[in-house]
Chains A and B, each alone.
Chain A
Amino acid sequence: MFENMSFETLQSYWWIIISLLGSILVFLMFVQGGQTLIYAIGKNEEERKMLINSLGRKWEFTFTTLVTFGGAFFASFPLFYSTSFGGAYWVWMAILFPFIIQAVSYEFRSKPNNFLGHKTYEWFLIINGLLGTILIGVAVSTFFTGSEFSVSKVSLTHLNDPAISRWEGPAHGLEAILNWRNVALGLAVFFLARVLGSLYFMNTIADETIIDRSKKQLLINAVPFLLFFLSYIVALMLYPGFALDPDTGTISMKPYKYFYNLIQMPVVLAMFLAGVVTVLLGIAISLFAGVKNAPKGIWLTGPGTILTVLSLFLLAGFNNTSYYPSTYNLQSSLTIHNSSSSYYTLTVMSYVSLLVPFVIAYIWYAWKSINNKKIDASEMQTEEHTY
Chain B
Amino acid sequence: MIESVDLNTIDWSRAQFALTAIYHWLFVPLTLGLSFLVAIMESIYVKTGNPEWKRITKFWMTLFGINFAIGIATGIILEFQFGTNWSNYSWFVGDIFGAPLAIEGIMAFFMESTFIAVMFFGWDKVSKGFHLTSSWLTAIGASLSALWILVANAWMQFPAGMSFNPDTVRNEMVSFWDVLLSPVAVNKFLHTVSSGYVTGSVFVVGISAWFLLKRRNIQMAKRSILIASIFGLIASVFLALSGDGSAYQVSQKQPMKLAAMEGLYQGKKGAGLVTVGVPTPGKKAGDGKEEFLVKIEIPKLLSFMGYRNPEAFVPGVEDLISGGFKPEFDHINPLEKSRALSVEEKISRGKIAVSALGLYKEAKSANDTAGIKSSLQVLHENFPYFGYAYLNSPNSVIPNVPLTFYSFRIMVILGFYFIVLFILVLYLLNKNKLEKKRWLLWLSLWTIPLVYFASQAGWVVAEVGRQPWVIQDLMPTMAAVSKIDASSVIITFWLFAAVFTTLLIAEVMIMKRQIKIGPNDGGQDNV
Q: Complex: how many Å from CA A87 to CA B99? A: 22
Q: Complex: how many Å from CA A102 to CA B503? A: 11
**Residue in chain A with minimal CB distance to B103:** A352
Contact indicator A87/B87 (Cβ below 8 Å)? yes
Which residues of B sit under 8 angstroms from A348, Cβ to Cβ? 99, 173, 176
A224 in the interface (beta carbon within 8 A): no
Which residues of B sit under 8 angstroms from A166, Cβ to Cβ? 483
Nearest chain B CB to A275's CB is how many angstroms away? 25
Q: Complex: how many Å from CA A169 to CA B479? A: 21
Contact indicator B120/A352 (Cβ below 8 Å)? no
B113 contacts which of A60, A344, A349 (Cβ < 8 Å)? A60
A367 in the interface (beta carbon within 8 A): yes
Contact indicator B106/A89 (Cβ below 8 Å)? no
Q: Complex: how many Å from CA A164 to CA B90? A: 10
Contact indicator B106/A344 (Cβ below 8 Å)? no
Q: Interface 1/0s, chain B 71-82, versus A by CB < 8 A?
A: 011101101101
Which residues of B sit under 8 angstroms from A373, Cβ to Cβ? 125
Contact indicator A74/B4 (Cβ below 8 Å)? no
A57, A66, A84, A156: residue with the most chain B Cβ atoms closer than 10 Å: A156
Which residues of B sit under 8 angstroms from A87, Cβ to Cβ? 87, 482-483
Q: Interface 1/0s, chain A 51-89, versus B by CB < 8 A?
A: 000000100110110111011101110110111111101
A64 contacts which of B88, B105, B484 (Cβ < 8 Å)? B105
B3, B84, B96, B101: residue with the most chain A Cβ atoms closer than 10 Å: B84
Contact indicator B510/A111 (Cβ below 8 Å)? yes
Which residues of B sit under 8 angstroms from A112, Cβ to Cβ? 510, 513, 517
Q: Given A157-B355, A165-B483: A68 and B126 within 8 A (CB)?
A: no
B361 in the interface (beta carbon within 8 A): yes
Q: Given A100-B499, A111-B66, A156-B92: A370 and B122 within 8 A (CB)?
A: yes
A234 in the interface (beta carbon within 8 A): no
Q: Given A82-B94, A355-B107: A92 and B172 within 8 A (CB)?
A: no
Nearest chain B CB to A125's CB is how many angstroms away? 13
Interface residues of B in 342-357 (CB under 8 A from A): 351, 354-355, 357
Interface residues of A in 352-380 (CB under 8 A from B): 352-353, 355-356, 359, 362-363, 366-367, 369-370, 372-373
Q: Complex: how many Å from CA A66 to CA B75? A: 12
A342 contacts which of B72, B77, B83, B168 (Cβ < 8 Å)? B168
Contact indicator B169/A74 (Cβ below 8 Å)? no
A140 in the interface (beta carbon within 8 A): no
Nearest chain A CB to B120's CB is how many angstroms away? 5
B514 in the interface (beta carbon within 8 A): yes
Which residues of A sit under 8 angstroms from B17, Cβ to Cβ? none
**Residue in chain B with minimal CB distance to A116:** B506
| B interface, size bucket | 35 or more
**Residue in chain A with minimal CB distance to B481:** A163
Contact indicator A86/B94 (Cβ below 8 Å)? no
Which residues of A sit under 8 angstroms from B335, Cβ to Cβ? none
Which residues of A sit under 8 angstroms from B86, Cβ to Cβ? 86
Contact indicator A165/B488 (Cβ below 8 Å)? no
Contact indicator A111/B513 (Cβ below 8 Å)? yes
A209 in the interface (beta carbon within 8 A): no
Contact indicator B94/A81 (Cβ below 8 Å)? yes
B70 contacts which of A79, A104, A165, A352 (Cβ < 8 Å)? A104
Q: Complex: how many Å from CA A342 to CA B125? A: 46
Interface residues of B in 92-119 (CB under 8 A from A): 92, 94-99, 101-107, 109-111, 113-118
Contact indicator A352/B102 (Cβ below 8 Å)? yes
Contact indicator A71/B510 (Cβ below 8 Å)? no
Q: Given A87-B87, A93-B492, A341-B98: A63 and B117 within 8 A (CB)?
A: no
Which residues of B sit under 8 angstroms from A102, Cβ to Cβ? 73
B174 in the interface (beta carbon within 8 A): yes
A85 contacts which of B90, B107, B509 (Cβ < 8 Å)? B90
A39 in the interface (beta carbon within 8 A): no
A113 contacts which of B3, B116, B165, B513 (Cβ < 8 Å)? B513
Contact indicator B95/A78 (Cβ below 8 Å)? yes
Q: Given A82-B88, A104-B69, A344-B173: A114 and B506 within 8 A (CB)?
A: yes
Contact indicator A70/B513 (Cβ below 8 Å)? no
Q: Complex: how many Å from CA A93 to CA B357? A: 34
Nearest chain B CB to A118's CB is how many angstroms away? 12
Contact indicator A153/B69 (Cβ below 8 Å)? no
Which residues of B sit under 8 angstroms from A255, Cβ to Cβ? none
Nearest chain B CB to A344's CB is how many angstroms away? 5
Nearest chain B CB to A70's CB is how many angstroms away? 6
Nearest chain A CB to B99's CB is how many angstroms away? 5
Contact indicator A162/B513 (Cβ below 8 Å)? no
B74, B80, B115, B483: residue with the most chain A Cβ atoms closer than 10 Å: B483
Which residues of A sit under 8 angstroms from B168, Cβ to Cβ? 153, 342
Contact indicator A74/B98 (Cβ below 8 Å)? yes
Q: Complex: how many Å from CA A341 to CA B172? A: 8
Q: Complex: how many Å from CA A352 to CA B105? A: 11
Nearest chain B CB to A74's CB is how many angstroms away? 4
Contact indicator A163/B5 (Cβ below 8 Å)? yes
Contact indicator B110/A157 (Cβ below 8 Å)? no
Q: Complex: how many Å from CA A233 to CA B351? A: 51
Nearest chain B CB to A157's CB is how many angstroms away? 4
B505 in the interface (beta carbon within 8 A): yes
B208 in the interface (beta carbon within 8 A): no
A96 in the interface (beta carbon within 8 A): yes
Interface residues of B in 494-508 (CB under 8 A from A): 495, 499, 502-503, 505-507
A90 in the interface (beta carbon within 8 A): yes
**Residue in chain B with minimal CB distance to A352:** B103
Nearest chain A CB to B23's CB is how many angstroms away? 10
Q: Complex: how many Å from CA A349 to CA B94? A: 13
Q: Complex: how many Å from CA A102 to CA B75? A: 13
Which residues of B sit under 8 angstroms from A115, Cβ to Cβ? 502, 505-506, 509-510
Q: Given A342-B165, A342-B172: A156 and B88 within 8 A (CB)?
A: yes
Q: Complex: how many Å from CA A166 to CA B481? A: 11
Q: Complex: how many Å from CA A159 to CA B357? A: 12
Contact indicator A164/B505 (Cβ below 8 Å)? no
Q: Given A97-B495, A165-B91, A370-B122: A154 and B361 within 8 A (CB)?
A: yes
Q: Complex: how many Å from CA A62 to CA B505? A: 26
Q: Given A70-B80, A81-B98: A104 and B506 within 8 A (CB)?
A: yes
The 20 sampled A-B contact pairs (Cβ below 8 Å) are A61-B113, A71-B79, A71-B101, A71-B103, A74-B101, A81-B83, A107-B66, A108-B66, A108-B69, A108-B510, A112-B517, A157-B358, A161-B4, A161-B5, A163-B483, A164-B169, A366-B117, A367-B114, A369-B125, A370-B126
Chain B residues packing against A (C-beta within 8 Å): 2-5, 58, 65-66, 68-70, 72-74, 76-77, 79-80, 82-92, 94-99, 101-107, 109-111, 113-118, 120-123, 125-126, 130, 134, 165, 168-170, 172-174, 176, 351, 354-355, 357-358, 361, 389-390, 479, 481-484, 488, 492, 495, 499, 502-503, 505-507, 509-510, 512-514, 517, 521
Please name 10 further chain A to chain B contacts, defined as beta carbons within 8 Å, in addition to the given A104-B73, A385-B65, sorted by A numbering.
A67-B105, A72-B105, A82-B91, A86-B482, A113-B512, A164-B87, A165-B483, A352-B106, A366-B114, A384-B58
The 3 A-B pairs of least Cβ separation, nearest first, read A86-B87, A78-B94, A85-B83
